Amino acid sequence: MKRPLVRDDLRSMDGYHSPQVEVDVRLNTNEAPLAPPEEFQAAFLAEAAKVDWHRYPDRVAKALREELADLHGVEAEQIFVANGSNEVLQTLCLTFGGHGRTALTFEPTYAMYGQIARTTQCRVVEAARDEDFRITEPVLEAAIESERPDLLFVCSPNNPTGTPESREVVELAVAKSQGVVVVDEAYGQFADFTAIEMLKQSEAPESLVVTRTFSKTWSMAGVRLGYCVAPPWMLPEFEKVVLPYHLDSLKQIAGRIALRFHDEMEERVTQISAERQRIATALSGLGLKVFPSQANFIMFRSTECGVDGDELWNRLLAKSVLVRNCSKWPGLADCLRVTVGTATENNIFIEALEGAIK
């Protein structure tokens, strides 16, 4: 029987993959090292017991949007909530992208920008970061002038390098671009600067969108919940492309309850940041090239120790420690990325790494 043909532009594409294998220590997907506080589960179950299962969820997630707005000091009309920040990115591409439109990324960076843009039939242009993995102003200006992007993606701190971007770079992108400037702050709680502050100004940019996720700091990767802060005029446009009732009742409950534990989550950010520094010091002591990070992960290069990235990744896997192999990414030869885990997991990783490079 003859198979129907998929779209021509999809045939040469691969899906997004991150290895999921059984190991003792899994540090490859930048998840939070600990579950939410114990009180979270009890509060969640109590709220879930009140759900009207036969009714659709609140279509606009009003209560959750209001509480997120309070958290960031903005208006509820500036908050859009979705199934992970990836659905936010997809919604942006569906709203502002499409056939004949251009998306601009700065490589190396999070692969889903290009993936989602291409699946929504955008033309994707990749500009290069500098040797420190930052976006330079001359490259930014030249790319905007030559490509006139409809969507411009800035990941800050950048995944997989951990590099934050400056306010000056974001302001320049907003000033020069005629399209939407998307600042992805999946790891924003670990950084010195957040572009959300720009959306709280009396004359806030009309083209700036800042995305956030509950997967990292809020310890809720299993829930798949994300949101963005955007100019109010954009939200009615998002409603034209997003599926009706796309955010189920349980996600909305989980998000609202998580926000009750803001102080605990901030304390965890401090703890993770301290562990990140401890790991970085240990890796540098082993002779590895360690790249500065303002996220919950560290990228490092193995070649200084005479072991290529693929080989080192396999040696760690043989010791039941899984990290992310970035060696095949453009500009990241022999680079691996390790998530900051618990103190015990981090100790196991460091010990395994010591054995792997000898």
Residue pLDDT, tens place only, 98-125: 999 999 999 999 999 999 999 999 999 9
Whole-structure pTM value: 0.95
In the structure, what pLDDT confidence band is assigned to residue 303 with cuts at 50, 70 and 90?
Answer: confident
Which domain range does residue 32 map to?
A: 8-36+263-356
- Residue 43 domain-assigned (yes or no): no
> Is it the case that residue 78 has pLDDT exceeding 70?
yes
> Do 23 and 90 fall within a single domain?
no
Average pLDDT over residues 133-152: 98
In the structure, what pLDDT confidence band is assigned to residue 306 with cuts at 50, 70 and 90?
Answer: confident
Task: Provide the token pair at 108.
Answer: 């190396």
In the structure, what pLDDT confidence band is assigned to residue 10 with cuts at 50, 70 and 90?
Answer: confident
Tell me, what's the pLDDT at 60? 95
Average pLDDT over residues 70-96: 98
| Three-class DSSP labels, 260-305 | HHHHHHHHHHHHHHHHHHHHHHHHHHCCCEECCCCCCEEEEECHHH
> Do 25 and 133 fall within a single domain?
no
Which of these, 230, 235, 14, lies nearest to 112 by C-alpha position? 14
What CATH number is attached to the domain comprising 222? 3.40.640.10
Segment (H or E) for 347? helix 343-356
What CATH number is attached to the domain comprising 295? 3.90.1150.10
Give yes or no for a contact between 335 and 327, defined as CB atoms under 8 angstroms apart. Answer: yes
Tell me, what's the pLDDT at 19? 66
In the structure, what pLDDT confidence band is assigned to residue 17 with cuts at 50, 70 and 90?
Answer: low
> Do 287 and 229 fall within a single domain?
no
Give yes or no for a contact between 199 and 205, defined as CB atoms under 8 angstroms apart. Answer: yes
Give yes or no for a contact between 285 and 275, defined as CB atoms under 8 angstroms apart. Answer: no
- Residue 1 domain-assigned (yes or no): no
Average pLDDT over all residues of the chain: 95
> Do 252 and 273 fall within a single domain?
no
Query: Which of 241, 261, 281 marks a domain boundary?
Result: 261
Tell me, what's the pLDDT at 296? 98
- The per-residue pLDDT for range 194-236, each reduced to its tens digit, is 999 999 988 899 999 999 999 999 999 999 999 999 999 999 9
High-pLDDT (> 90) share of the chain, %: 91
Average pLDDT over residues 147-172: 97
Residues 6+ apart with CB under 8 A from 4: none
- Give the 3-state secondary structure of residue 171: helix
Tell me, what's the pLDDT at 225? 98
Minimum mean pLDDT among 16-30, 64-78, 129-143: which range? 16-30
> Is it the case that residue 315 has pLDDT exceeding 90?
yes
> Do 271 and 211 fall within a single domain?
no
> Do 179 and 320 fall within a single domain?
no
> Do 255 and 268 fall within a single domain?
no
Half-sphere exposure of 350 toward its Cβ, with a 13 Å CA cutoff?
Answer: 22
Task: Provide the token pair at 252.
Answer: 């909305």
Query: Which of 243, 261, 279 marks a domain boundary?
Result: 261
Which of these, 68, 124, 65, 69, lies nearest to 93 by C-alpha position? 124
Tell me, what's the pLDDT at 301? 96
- Residue 45 domain-assigned (yes or no): no
Distance between CA atoms of 160 and 298, rounded to whole angstroms?
Answer: 8
Tell me, what's the pLDDT at 294? 97
Tell me, what's the pLDDT at 119? 96
- Residue 229 domain-assigned (yes or no): yes
Minimum mean pLDDT among 78-82, 202-206, 270-274: which range? 202-206
> Do 84 and 223 fall within a single domain?
yes
- Residue 62 domain-assigned (yes or no): yes
Distance between CA atoms of 155 and 91, rounded to whole angstroms?
Answer: 17
Tell me, what's the pLDDT at 16? 67
- Residue 41 domain-assigned (yes or no): no
- Residue 31 domain-assigned (yes or no): yes
Average pLDDT over residues 142-154: 98
Tell me, what's the pLDDT at 202? 81
- Residue 328 domain-assigned (yes or no): yes
Query: Which of 207, 228, 261 marks a domain boundary?
Result: 261
> Do 168 and 306 fall within a single domain?
no
> Do 247 and 98 fall within a single domain?
yes
> Do 236 and 87 fall within a single domain?
yes
> Do 192 and 207 fall within a single domain?
yes
Average pLDDT over residues 327-339: 95
How many domains, in total, are found in the chain?
A: 2
